[in-house]
Amino acid sequence: MPLTLRAAVLLAARVFPNRAVEEQAAWRLVVDLADAHFLATGQMHLWDGWSALALPDQVRITRMLRQRPAVLAHHSVFVAETAAVLDSGEAVEFAPADGQEQVLVLPVGDEEALIDALLDELEDNAAKGQLLPKPAPPGSYVSDLRIRIRSAHPAGWWTSSTISTTKGPLLPAWCRSWATPRSRTRW
């Protein structure tokens, strides 16, 4: 989660206007956490500026969204987690700002390279955490095929047909009568 938050703040600093007061805007870069949170929600269809963004920035935002935990879509969670990252010292790219729910982006050099490095690390961590499913061992399995069909009933009711098949004694004796290949219709 800290990598996602750091990437979201740096992306917001890159694509949204500087939120510093006018007198300080020339030498200070401030990001509203609401801007960074907006990027983390993935609601780009609500943003008129999305289509005007450079393609590399759109790709960076999309890469961040692919790996972000869903819980960060909630504003209060996003703000609380950002505060926790700031308190832990994991965010070396930004610090608390004077305004509430704002952060001060520190000079980091090549911001594009830093954002790309954060996203690469985020994707590497995600790839390490994904385990491929083990193949199923030999044996008997149950397969259900459920098909919704339109009834010929004048009222237009829907029926549901289920076809179940099995091989071998996989099911307990009390439900084996359901496992025979047949169709059941329920009104």
Please state, rounded to an integer, the average pLDDT across all residues of the chain.
77
Whole-model pTM: value is: 0.65
Amino acid at 147: I
* pLDDT digit string, tens, across residues 2-42: 889 999 999 999 999 888 778 887 788 888 899 999 999 98
* pLDDT digit string, tens, across residues 33-64: 999 999 999 888 888 889 899 999 999 999 99
Encoding tokens for residue 55? Answer: 């393609």
- Inter-residue contact 2 to 66 (CB < 8 Å): no
- For residue 39, the Cα-to-chain-centroid distance in whole angstroms is 11
Please state the rounded mean pLDDT for residues 139-150: 66
Judged against a pLDDT cut of 50, whether residue 162 lies above it is answered with: no
Judged against a pLDDT cut of 90, whether residue 141 lies above it is answered with: no
Q: Which residues pair with 145 in a beta bridge?
A: 163
- What is the Cα–Cα distance from 116 to 86, expressed in whole angstroms? 21
